[in-house]
Amino acid sequence: MRLKLLSPGEMSADQKEVYDEAIAGKRGAPPAPMMAWLNSPEMARHATRLGEQLRFNTIFPAKLSEIAILVTARHWTSHYEWYAHKRLALKGGMDPDIIEDIRDRRTPTFDDPKGKMIYDLAKSLHEGHGVSQALYDEAVKMLTVRGVVEVIGLCGYYTMVSMTLNTFEFGLPEGEVSDLA
């Protein structure tokens, strides 16, 4: 770990206010990258609020939103992000075979066409740096414009999360080993 994470007693008043707001939210605990973001308290405040919105308030159930998050974690080979969201994806009902395929960079087989669309959008955003007109039109038809915006938000936010976790070398909990090579 490249960064000393502050305990609540070591935080400035601004940092502590952001920390307290995060633990009072739906997560009930501070998200790991926020502990690094606290070095810029206002950034931490807004990023954490955005993260809560994207985690809990999109039009997608966890089973679907976790597809975009796992594709992003895999794209960035973010070990901590993968570790955390693999568990959330399983808890949300995602098929373990889909998780394994994303981990191994294979295109999964989806029983839900919305899941496939979210996967295709996320892959296109990360690998193609955008979305073709045909994919866009199909995505809007299937997911709505709001859904497309929220997939972009998930990919963008979790890119920032992955970059933070990778840059500061957040480790996995004691005894855990990364699934990613």
91 and 142 housed in the same domain:
yes
Give 96's contacts (C-beta < 8 A, 6+ positions apart): 90
- Stretches where the chain sits below pLDDT 50 are none
Contact 74, 123 (CB under 8 A): no
Residue 107 sits in a domain whose CATH number is: 1.20.1290.10
Alpha carbon 58 to its chain's center: 13
8 within a domain of the structure (yes/no):
no
Q: What's the CA gap between 77 and 159, in Å, rounded?
A: 11
178 within a domain of the structure (yes/no):
no
Q: Output the pLDDT for position 70.
A: 98
Q: Output the pLDDT for position 26.
A: 87
Q: What is the residue range of 19's domain? A: 13-57
Q: Output the pLDDT for position 27.
A: 86
- Structure tokens, 84: 């955390």
77 and 157 housed in the same domain:
yes
In the chain, the number of structural domains is 2
Q: Output the pLDDT for position 29.
A: 87
Q: Output the pLDDT for position 181.
A: 86
Q: Output the pLDDT for position 50.
A: 97
21 and 98 housed in the same domain:
no
Q: Output the pLDDT for position 25.
A: 87
1 within a domain of the structure (yes/no):
no
107 and 68 housed in the same domain:
yes
Domain end call among 5, 33, 57: 57
Contact 54, 60 (CB under 8 A): no
45 and 76 housed in the same domain:
no
Q: Output the pLDDT for position 28.
A: 87
- Structure tokens, 102: 């994303």
Tell me the three state secondary structure of residue 111.
coil
Q: Output the pLDDT for position 75.
A: 98
176 within a domain of the structure (yes/no):
no
